[in-house]
Amino acid sequence: MKLTVTKIGLALLLAAPAARLLAADELPKAETILDKYVEATGGKAAYDKLHNIVTTGSMSFGAMGIKATVSSYHAVPNKTYTEINIEGMGKIQDGTDGTVAWSLSAMQGPHIKDGEEKAQAMREADFRAETDWKREYKEVKTEAVETVDGKDCYKVIMTPNTGSPATRYYDKQTFLLVKVAMTAKTPMGDIPVESVLEDYRKEGDILMPHKTTLKQGGQEFSITIDTVKYNVDIPPETFALPAEIQALLKK
Protein backbone atom coordinates (compact mmCIF):
# COMPACT_ATOMS: atom_id res chain seq x y z
CA MET A 1 0.00 0.00 0.00
CA LYS A 2 2.82 2.39 0.92
CA LEU A 3 4.61 1.60 -2.34
CA THR A 4 1.45 2.21 -4.35
CA VAL A 5 0.89 5.60 -2.72
CA THR A 6 4.50 6.53 -3.43
CA LYS A 7 4.12 5.58 -7.09
CA ILE A 8 0.92 7.61 -7.38
CA GLY A 9 2.63 10.58 -5.77
CA LEU A 10 5.57 10.28 -8.17
CA ALA A 11 3.22 10.05 -11.14
CA LEU A 12 1.40 13.20 -10.06
CA LEU A 13 4.69 15.00 -9.54
CA LEU A 14 5.90 14.08 -13.02
CA ALA A 15 2.57 15.14 -14.52
CA ALA A 16 2.46 18.45 -12.65
CA PRO A 17 4.51 20.55 -15.12
CA ALA A 18 2.22 19.55 -17.99
CA ALA A 19 -0.86 20.30 -15.89
CA ARG A 20 0.45 23.75 -14.96
CA LEU A 21 1.31 24.48 -18.59
CA LEU A 22 -2.17 23.50 -19.71
CA ALA A 23 -3.74 25.71 -17.03
CA ALA A 24 -1.53 28.63 -18.06
CA ASP A 25 -2.61 28.23 -21.70
CA GLU A 26 -6.25 28.41 -20.64
CA LEU A 27 -5.89 31.57 -18.58
CA PRO A 28 -7.43 34.76 -19.99
CA LYS A 29 -5.03 37.42 -21.18
CA ALA A 30 -4.09 40.06 -18.62
CA GLU A 31 -5.36 42.75 -20.99
CA THR A 32 -8.80 41.14 -20.91
CA ILE A 33 -8.81 40.96 -17.11
CA LEU A 34 -7.83 44.62 -16.78
CA ASP A 35 -10.60 45.62 -19.19
CA LYS A 36 -13.10 43.49 -17.24
CA TYR A 37 -12.06 45.26 -14.03
CA VAL A 38 -12.81 48.66 -15.57
CA GLU A 39 -16.20 47.39 -16.78
CA ALA A 40 -17.02 45.85 -13.38
CA THR A 41 -16.27 49.09 -11.54
CA GLY A 42 -18.23 51.45 -13.77
CA GLY A 43 -16.90 51.42 -17.31
CA LYS A 44 -14.43 53.64 -19.15
CA ALA A 45 -17.06 56.28 -19.96
CA ALA A 46 -17.79 56.76 -16.25
CA TYR A 47 -14.10 57.08 -15.44
CA ASP A 48 -13.56 59.56 -18.27
CA LYS A 49 -16.16 61.91 -16.75
CA LEU A 50 -14.02 62.37 -13.65
CA HIS A 51 -11.23 64.91 -13.34
CA ASN A 52 -10.65 64.86 -9.60
CA ILE A 53 -11.54 62.97 -6.43
CA VAL A 54 -11.43 63.92 -2.76
CA THR A 55 -11.67 61.28 -0.04
CA THR A 56 -11.62 61.37 3.74
CA GLY A 57 -11.28 58.49 6.13
CA SER A 58 -9.51 56.98 9.08
CA MET A 59 -6.52 54.75 9.78
CA SER A 60 -5.96 52.17 12.49
CA PHE A 61 -2.48 50.84 13.25
CA GLY A 62 -3.30 47.26 14.22
CA ALA A 63 -2.36 46.12 17.71
CA MET A 64 -0.64 49.44 18.45
CA GLY A 65 -4.00 51.07 19.04
CA ILE A 66 -2.95 54.23 17.18
CA LYS A 67 -5.62 56.13 15.25
CA ALA A 68 -5.33 58.68 12.48
CA THR A 69 -7.45 60.69 10.06
CA VAL A 70 -6.73 60.77 6.34
CA SER A 71 -7.58 63.31 3.64
CA SER A 72 -6.60 62.69 0.04
CA TYR A 73 -6.84 64.83 -3.11
CA HIS A 74 -6.22 63.51 -6.61
CA ALA A 75 -6.59 65.43 -9.87
CA VAL A 76 -5.79 65.07 -13.57
CA PRO A 77 -3.35 64.42 -14.96
CA ASN A 78 -1.08 63.40 -12.05
CA LYS A 79 -1.45 65.67 -9.04
CA THR A 80 -1.93 64.28 -5.53
CA TYR A 81 -1.89 65.43 -1.94
CA THR A 82 -2.44 63.21 1.09
CA GLU A 83 -2.47 64.35 4.71
CA ILE A 84 -2.42 61.90 7.63
CA ASN A 85 -2.91 63.22 11.15
CA ILE A 86 -1.79 60.69 13.75
CA GLU A 87 -2.94 61.06 17.32
CA GLY A 88 -0.07 62.21 19.50
CA MET A 89 2.49 61.95 16.69
CA GLY A 90 1.73 64.78 14.29
CA LYS A 91 1.18 65.04 10.56
CA ILE A 92 2.46 63.15 7.55
CA GLN A 93 2.13 64.73 4.10
CA ASP A 94 2.79 63.23 0.71
CA GLY A 95 2.12 64.39 -2.83
CA THR A 96 3.16 65.55 -6.26
CA ASP A 97 2.50 68.76 -8.16
CA GLY A 98 2.78 66.82 -11.40
CA THR A 99 6.55 67.22 -11.61
CA VAL A 100 8.05 66.88 -8.13
CA ALA A 101 7.14 63.93 -5.90
CA TRP A 102 7.73 64.51 -2.20
CA SER A 103 6.93 63.58 1.40
CA LEU A 104 7.10 65.52 4.67
CA SER A 105 6.69 64.48 8.29
CA ALA A 106 7.72 65.61 11.73
CA MET A 107 9.53 62.29 12.20
CA GLN A 108 11.54 62.15 8.95
CA GLY A 109 11.49 65.73 7.72
CA PRO A 110 11.20 66.82 4.08
CA HIS A 111 12.08 64.39 1.32
CA ILE A 112 12.15 64.69 -2.47
CA LYS A 113 11.65 61.42 -4.31
CA ASP A 114 13.84 60.45 -7.23
CA GLY A 115 14.78 57.41 -9.28
CA GLU A 116 12.49 54.40 -8.90
CA GLU A 117 10.83 55.92 -5.85
CA LYS A 118 9.72 58.92 -7.93
CA ALA A 119 8.68 56.69 -10.84
CA GLN A 120 6.48 54.69 -8.48
CA ALA A 121 4.92 57.84 -7.00
CA MET A 122 4.18 59.32 -10.42
CA ARG A 123 2.71 56.02 -11.61
CA GLU A 124 0.35 55.97 -8.64
CA ALA A 125 -0.50 59.63 -9.27
CA ASP A 126 -1.63 58.97 -12.86
CA PHE A 127 -5.35 59.74 -12.69
CA ARG A 128 -6.09 57.58 -15.76
CA ALA A 129 -3.90 54.67 -14.66
CA GLU A 130 -6.76 52.15 -14.61
CA THR A 131 -8.24 52.96 -18.01
CA ASP A 132 -4.96 53.82 -19.75
CA TRP A 133 -2.55 51.42 -18.04
CA LYS A 134 -0.43 50.94 -21.18
CA ARG A 135 1.05 54.36 -20.57
CA GLU A 136 2.60 53.16 -17.30
CA TYR A 137 3.23 49.44 -17.87
CA LYS A 138 5.34 47.82 -20.58
CA GLU A 139 4.09 44.28 -19.92
CA VAL A 140 1.16 42.56 -18.19
CA LYS A 141 0.78 38.81 -17.83
CA THR A 142 -1.71 36.40 -16.28
CA GLU A 143 0.39 33.92 -14.35
CA ALA A 144 -2.01 31.66 -12.45
CA VAL A 145 -5.20 31.26 -10.46
CA GLU A 146 -4.66 31.56 -6.71
CA THR A 147 -6.98 31.70 -3.71
CA VAL A 148 -7.16 34.96 -1.74
CA ASP A 149 -9.40 34.98 1.33
CA GLY A 150 -11.41 32.07 -0.05
CA LYS A 151 -11.82 33.62 -3.52
CA ASP A 152 -10.32 32.19 -6.69
CA CYS A 153 -8.35 35.03 -8.26
CA TYR A 154 -6.42 35.67 -11.44
CA LYS A 155 -2.82 36.50 -10.57
CA VAL A 156 -1.62 39.26 -12.89
CA ILE A 157 2.01 40.43 -13.03
CA MET A 158 2.31 44.06 -14.09
CA THR A 159 5.77 45.29 -15.11
CA PRO A 160 6.10 49.09 -15.16
CA ASN A 161 8.26 51.10 -17.54
CA THR A 162 10.55 51.82 -14.59
CA GLY A 163 10.82 49.84 -11.36
CA SER A 164 9.84 46.47 -9.94
CA PRO A 165 6.78 44.45 -11.06
CA ALA A 166 3.59 44.49 -9.00
CA THR A 167 1.30 41.50 -8.57
CA ARG A 168 -2.44 42.04 -8.66
CA TYR A 169 -5.16 39.53 -7.80
CA TYR A 170 -8.56 39.89 -9.50
CA ASP A 171 -11.62 37.95 -8.33
CA LYS A 172 -12.33 35.30 -10.96
CA GLN A 173 -16.10 35.80 -10.64
CA THR A 174 -16.45 39.56 -10.30
CA PHE A 175 -13.13 40.80 -11.75
CA LEU A 176 -12.76 43.15 -8.78
CA LEU A 177 -9.24 43.80 -7.52
CA VAL A 178 -8.84 42.12 -4.13
CA LYS A 179 -5.10 42.19 -3.45
CA VAL A 180 -1.89 43.93 -4.55
CA ALA A 181 1.64 42.82 -3.67
CA MET A 182 4.60 45.03 -4.51
CA THR A 183 7.96 46.30 -3.34
CA ALA A 184 7.87 49.93 -2.23
CA LYS A 185 10.93 52.09 -2.79
CA THR A 186 11.59 54.22 0.31
CA PRO A 187 14.47 56.22 1.82
CA MET A 188 14.92 53.26 4.18
CA GLY A 189 15.27 50.78 1.33
CA ASP A 190 12.95 48.32 -0.40
CA ILE A 191 9.92 47.30 1.66
CA PRO A 192 7.47 44.54 0.63
CA VAL A 193 3.90 45.82 0.79
CA GLU A 194 0.70 43.78 0.61
CA SER A 195 -2.69 45.48 0.27
CA VAL A 196 -6.05 43.73 0.58
CA LEU A 197 -9.03 45.65 -0.80
CA GLU A 198 -12.60 45.00 0.29
CA ASP A 199 -16.03 46.48 1.06
CA TYR A 200 -16.70 47.58 -2.52
CA ARG A 201 -19.49 50.13 -2.68
CA LYS A 202 -20.73 52.46 -5.38
CA GLU A 203 -19.83 56.14 -5.23
CA GLY A 204 -21.59 57.90 -8.06
CA ASP A 205 -21.06 55.66 -11.09
CA ILE A 206 -17.87 54.06 -9.75
CA LEU A 207 -17.65 50.91 -7.64
CA MET A 208 -14.71 51.28 -5.28
CA PRO A 209 -13.22 49.61 -2.17
CA HIS A 210 -13.89 51.39 1.12
CA LYS A 211 -11.42 49.40 3.21
CA THR A 212 -7.78 48.59 2.56
CA THR A 213 -5.62 46.51 4.88
CA LEU A 214 -1.88 46.96 4.42
CA LYS A 215 1.03 44.89 5.64
CA GLN A 216 4.49 46.37 5.39
CA GLY A 217 7.68 46.30 7.40
CA GLY A 218 6.21 43.81 9.83
CA GLN A 219 3.30 46.12 10.64
CA GLU A 220 -0.38 45.98 9.71
CA PHE A 221 -2.77 48.87 9.46
CA SER A 222 -6.12 49.54 7.82
CA ILE A 223 -7.60 52.50 5.97
CA THR A 224 -11.36 53.07 5.89
CA ILE A 225 -12.90 55.57 3.48
CA ASP A 226 -15.78 57.58 4.92
CA THR A 227 -16.55 60.16 2.22
CA VAL A 228 -15.93 60.42 -1.52
CA LYS A 229 -16.48 63.49 -3.70
CA TYR A 230 -15.89 63.79 -7.43
CA ASN A 231 -15.30 66.82 -9.67
CA VAL A 232 -15.20 69.36 -6.85
CA ASP A 233 -13.45 72.73 -6.69
CA ILE A 234 -9.99 72.02 -5.31
CA PRO A 235 -7.94 75.16 -4.57
CA PRO A 236 -4.77 75.16 -6.75
CA GLU A 237 -2.60 75.67 -3.68
CA THR A 238 -3.63 72.20 -2.46
CA PHE A 239 -1.02 70.69 -4.76
CA ALA A 240 1.61 73.39 -4.21
CA LEU A 241 4.99 72.31 -2.85
CA PRO A 242 5.42 72.98 0.90
CA ALA A 243 8.02 75.58 1.85
CA GLU A 244 10.28 72.84 3.25
CA ILE A 245 10.28 71.02 -0.11
CA GLN A 246 10.90 74.24 -2.02
CA ALA A 247 13.90 74.91 0.23
CA LEU A 248 15.32 71.47 -0.58
CA LEU A 249 14.96 72.12 -4.29
CA LYS A 250 16.98 75.32 -4.00
CA LYS A 251 19.96 73.55 -2.42
In the structure, what pLDDT confidence band is assigned to residue 25 with cuts at 50, 70 and 90?
low
Query: Quick check: pTM over 0.85?
Result: yes
Q: What does the pLDDT average to over 162-169?
A: 96
pLDDT of residue 84 exceeding 80: yes
| Residue of 251 and 100 predicted with greater confidence | 100
In the structure, what pLDDT confidence band is assigned to residue 146 with cuts at 50, 70 and 90?
very high
Output phi, psi for 157, to 5 deg: -95, 125
pLDDT of residue 65 exceeding 90: no
Can you name the CATH fold of 31-250?
outer membrane lipoprotein receptor (LolB), chain A (2.50.20)
pLDDT of residue 223 exceeding 60: yes
